[in-house]
Structure formats: C-alpha cells, structure tokens
Amino acid sequence: MSTTVPRLIVGLGNPKDSYHNTRHNVGKRFVEFLAKGAPLTHQSRTAEAYSLSIGGSVPVTGCLLTCYMNESGPCLKKFIDAEGFSAADLLVVIDDFMIPFGSLRLRSEGSAGGHNGLKSILETLGLEDIGRLRVGIGPVPPGEDPADFVLKPFKSSERDSLSDIFKIMEEGLRSVFAHGYSKAMNVINKQHLLT
C-alpha cells in the first residue's frame, strides 16, 4: 500500500456540455468544484490543470482531461510526462455504479473494477498502485444496462445533494493529506454521506 500522499487529483469524465450533468462525469465535476477560482497552471489539447489550495503545506494540482473517458490513460500520460508528475502522485476520482449514491470508497491501489477510464490509466501506466476515490452513483435500476445508466443525468434530488457531497469529499482529501491513505480510508470508507 502506498505511503505517499497525492499531489495530482484527476477527475475523470467525458468532454462536451451534453455529458456535464451525467453520472459518469461526477469525478470531473468534483475537480471542477475544487478548482473554482483557482489559478490555471497548464492548458493543452489533452488537459488543463489548476493549483488547488486544499493540501495545506502539500502543493496539489487538479487535472481535467479533455478526452473521452476510455482515452484517459494516453491523455494523462502526456500530461504527467510534460509536468514531471509520477504515478505515485496520482489520485483519480471516478464514478462507481456498484455502490450507493452518497457513498465513497478510497483505495491506494487495486484493479479498475470495470471502470473504463481507470482501466485505460492502469493499462497505459502499467501498474495498479494508483490512488482512486470512487464516488457512488448507484444503484442501477433493475433491468437497466449500466452503460446507459451512467450516461443519464442525476435525478433532481441527487443533483441537489452534490455540492454537500463534494464538500465532504474535500474534507476527506484533507484527511489524506494530513494522515495518509490508511487512516483516511478508515474514515471515508465507513461513511455514507446521506445518513
């Protein structure tokens, strides 16, 4: 298990306004939430990055990729190679339809778990010990294809809760910066945000 703390928070999602409010873009929207008003430090065809003020003494960058979800790995590699980051610096924020809306799962390593964006990153970088924060968007209604479900907008009640969830996620990140993954996981992974 990684003992480092992340320096690069990457929120995954699809480009174009038509995807903005979909469940699949919740990771990207969280980093947009963190980056609101933050200085832009990098802009290219594949990524834009912001200097975030959430790490205390740890300099933290928020990264938004401009590619589609399943192309995340090559886009991210171009960015980290250009900016001098390593895989150990990464924390990837993604949606997860297997866990309930309002729940979080923080891990410092592991498989992609069926998420195409994370799969692309792990395959491109050739390793699995990359931090990830899964944001619950489930459950998938009975009989519905998960691939269709993740590309639908949040329900209005869910959409109204997102800003509160993002604030709690931000506090969770502060715990990672202050205490490392192990202690932060003990707090974040036991918490159901809507209870």
Which structural domains are found in the chain, ordered by start? 8-188 (3.40.50.1470)
The model carries a pTM of 0.95
Pairwise CA distance, residues 64 & 29, whole Å: 9
Tokens of 3: 């003992």
Query: CB of 150 within 8 A of CB of 24?
Result: yes
Pairwise CA distance, residues 140 & 186, whole Å: 26
What confidence tens digit (pLDDT) does each residue in 49-100 have?
Answer: 999 999 788 899 999 999 999 999 999 999 999 999 999 999 999 999 999 9
Task: Please say if 179 is a catalytic residue.
Answer: no
Q: If residue 149 lies in a helix (H) or strand (E), which one and from where to where?
A: helix 146-149
What confidence tens digit (pLDDT) does each residue in 88-145 have?
Answer: 999 999 999 999 998 999 999 999 999 999 999 999 999 999 999 999 999 999 999 9
Q: What is the pLDDT of residue 4?
A: 75
Q: Which of 20, 24, 115, 179 is catalytic?
A: 24
Taking all residues of the chain, what is their mean pLDDT, rounded to a whole number? 93
